[in-house]
Amino acid sequence: MHASFSRLDDALIERLFQPLADTVMDRFGLDRLRAACFCLDAASLAWIVSQAGGLGRDVGGWDAGPACLRLLLLVLGLAAMSSLRTLFQRMVAGGANPLRVAMVPHRGLALALFLGQLMTAGGLAGWAELAMLGLAAAGLYLGACRARPPAHRRVAWLADAKV
């Protein structure tokens, strides 16, 4: 199972998210880690929206147990997104990307949860949770992409030389 997912994971990175990261860099000037942080910020907002209705219903109905549990779940989700964002911010741009190998289980879980929610999504909370899972997976995949090589300087005497 791990080997087959690793092939799918590599294909998603190389065929979908690496070109997406390069396009975002070209069009918006965001490097892959900033784009990943943006996805995680949007996922955090979607997570708040997905939990807000149930939390409001539990608090309004004076159900302390479910309200505390839902609030704890909301805070844990936001803490997880925040810790991933901090990890992406601490990554250095050069060299090999350790997140490509280290985050394989995280990406697998995010994709599995996304596919599971895709089959059951309904209502605002369900669609917001689907958006959160999709954005979190996109953030994990963008964080696993390679950094673009630095732009080469153009040497004036080479540009004028006739070959």
What's the mean per-residue pLDDT of the chain? Answer: 83
Residue 2 within any structural domain of the chain? no
Residue 73 within any structural domain of the chain? yes
- Please state, in angstroms and rounded to a whole number, the distance separating the CA atoms of residues 130 and 133: 5
Residue 153 within any structural domain of the chain? no
**Residue-level pLDDT at 114:** 92
Residue 116 within any structural domain of the chain? yes
Residue 41 within any structural domain of the chain? yes
**Residue-level pLDDT at 93:** 60
Provide the domain limits for residue 55: 18-91+98-146
- Please state, in angstroms and rounded to a whole number, the distance separating the CA atoms of residues 132 and 39: 9
Give the model confidence (pLDDT) of 12-50 as tens digits.
999 999 999 999 888 988 888 889 999 999 999 999 998
- The domain tally of the chain equals 1
Residues 6+ apart with CB under 8 A from 76: none
- The model carries a pTM of 0.80
Are 147 and 97 in contact, with CB atoms under 8 Å apart?
A: yes
Residue 29 within any structural domain of the chain? yes
Are 63 and 79 in contact, with CB atoms under 8 Å apart?
A: no
Give the model confidence (pLDDT) of 96-137 as tens digits.
677 888 888 989 999 999 999 888 878 888 899 999 999 999
Residue 139 within any structural domain of the chain? yes
